[in-house]
Structure 1
Amino acid sequence: MPWPRIQFHELGDQPWCPAWLHHHEQFSLSQLWALRVPLWSRSSLATAACTVLKEHFTDLSSYTIVDVCAGAGGPTPLIERELNRDAEKQDQEPVTFVLTDMFPPVDVWSAIAKKQPNVRFIEEAVDARSVGRVAADDKKECRVFNICFHHFDDRDAAGILRGAVAEADAIFEITARQVSTCLYSPLVFFWGFYVTLLWYWNSPVHLLFTFLLPIAPVALWVDGFISCLRTRTPGEIEDLLATSGKDLDGWTFSSGQRSVQWPFITLYYFVGRKGAK
Structure 2
Amino acid sequence: MESLPRIDFVELHDLDRTPAVLRTLHTESITFIYRLTDAAREYSRPLSLALRQGADHRIVDLCAGSGGPVPLIQRRLHREGIHTHVTLTDLVPNVRAFQRVQAENRRLLPDSCCSVDYVSEPVDATDCRVEGTRTIYGAFHHFPPPLAGRMLQNAVDTRQPIVVVDTKRSFLYVLLFPFLTTLAVLLSAPFQRNPVPRYLLRLVLTYLVPVLPFMMFFDSVVSFLRMYGRAELRRMVDGLAGTESFTWTIGVEPGFTGAQYLIGVPLHVEGGLTRAE
Q: Superposition pairs for residues 12-161 of structure 1, below 5 Å? A: 12-36=13-37, 44-58=38-52, 62-87=56-81, 94-116=83-105, 118-132=115-129, 134-135=130-131, 141-161=132-152
Q: Which residue of 2 aligns with 1:177?
A: 169
Decide whether the 8 Å contact of 1:60 with 1:95 is kept in 2: no
Q: Which residue of 1 aligns with 2:250?
A: 255
Q: Which residue of 1 aligns with 2:8?
A: 7
2:202 maps to which of 198, 203, 206: 206
Residues of 1 paired with 2:231 and 2:161: CA distance?
17
Decide whether the 8 Å contact of 1:143 with 1:168 is kept in 2: no
Q: Which runs of 5+ in 1 are unaligned?
A: 37-43, 136-140
Decide whether the 8 Å contact of 2:60 with 2:87 is kept in 1: yes
Decide whether the 8 Å contact of 2:61 with 2:134 is kept in 1: yes
Q: Does 1:238 align with 2:234?
A: yes
The alignment partner of 2:66 has SS state of: coil
Decide whether the 8 Å contact of 2:55 with 2:161 is kept in 1: no
Opposite residue 65 of structure 2, the aligned amino acid is G
Opposite residue 254 of structure 2, the aligned amino acid is S
CA deviation after TM superposition for structure 1 residue 211, in Å: 2.2
Residues of 1 paired with 2:6 and 2:59: CA distance?
28
CA deviation after TM superposition for structure 1 residue 62, in Å: 4.5
The alignment partner of 1:272 has SS state of: strand
Q: Which runs of 5+ in 2 are unaligned?
A: 107-114, 268-274
In the TM superposition, what whole-angstrom CA distance separates every residue of 1:128-161 from its partner, at most 9, and x where no partner exists? Answer: 11112x23xxxxx321110111111121111111
Decide whether the 8 Å contact of 2:65 with 2:93 is kept in 1: yes
Change (3 A) 1:110 1:204: closer
Residues of 1 paired with 2:32 and 2:262: CA distance?
22
CA deviation after TM superposition for structure 1 residue 26, in Å: 0.6
Residues of 2 paired with 1:216 and 1:127: CA distance?
27
Change (3 A) 1:28 1:165: same
Residues of 2 paired with 1:57 and 1:200: CA distance?
33
Q: Does 1:189 align with 2:190?
A: no
Change (3 A) 1:3 1:249: closer
The alignment partner of 1:190 has SS state of: helix
Decide whether the 8 Å contact of 1:129 with 1:163 is kept in 2: yes
The alignment partner of 1:186 has SS state of: helix
The alignment partner of 2:253 has SS state of: strand
Decide whether the 8 Å contact of 1:54 with 1:60 is kept in 2: no
Q: Which residue of 2 aligns with 1:268?
A: 260
Decide whether the 8 Å contact of 2:206 with 2:212 is kept in 1: yes
Residues of 2 paired with 1:225 and 1:168: CA distance?
35
Give the TM-score, by structure 2 length: 0.82
CA deviation after TM superposition for structure 1 residue 252, in Å: 2.0
Which range is displaced more, 116-125 or 65-74? 116-125
Aligned residues: 255
| Identity percentage of aligned residues | 26
Residues of 2 paired with 1:61 and 1:6: CA distance?
32
In the TM superposition, what whole-angstrom CA distance separates every residue of 1:28-73 from its partner, at most 9, and x where no partner exists? Answer: 111222224xxxxxxx211212233223422678421111211221
Q: Which residue of 2 aligns with 1:217?
A: 213
Q: Which residue of 2 aligns with 1:138?
A: none
Residues of 2 paired with 1:143 and 1:168: CA distance?
11
Residues of 1 paired with 2:247 and 2:67: CA distance?
28
Cα RMSD, aligned residues only: 2.3
